[in-house]
Amino acid sequence: MGYLLEKQPLRYCLECGEPIAYGGRPDRKFCSCGCRNSYHNKNYREERIIKHRINAALNKNHDVLSRLLRMGVTSMSLPDLAQMGFVPEYITSFSRKGGRTECRCYDIKYYLTPTRIFSLGRNIIL
């Protein structure tokens, strides 16, 4: 007794365009692991670049603030900070306390006004 097998439509690899061999999962999208990895690396490269830029800016801000703390500085104008490489838009968190904006860059906290930062100090984490 013979069974009639339905022929599945031919599928093509999303990376190289080659036909995908029959067998395995019927919903495969790639002809090989190499094509799958290449496809995902290409498509997520921009996201990784953006994450790298954000982390680099956060690290630079932390380095600038740490240097100020070592020198005993607790207040400075934003233009002077900008010359040191500080970018106030890159912070790890913020909160509103008594009408003030308290910003944090990892373990360092400070209050931000439109023209300066003040009360620079380490945030003690228990």
What pTM value is reported for the model? 0.67
Domain boundaries, the chain: 33-122
- Arithmetic mean of pLDDT, 24-31: 87
Predicted pLDDT at 9: 72
Dump pLDDT digits (tens) for 91-126: 999 999 888 889 999 999 999 999 999 999 997 765
Please state, in angstroms and as integers, the Cα–Cα distance from residue 114 to each residue in 37, 77, 89, 101, 110, following that order.
46, 9, 12, 10, 13
Which of 39-58 are b and which e, b meaning 16 or more Cβ less than 10 Å from the residue's Cβ? beeeeeeeeeeeeeeeeebb
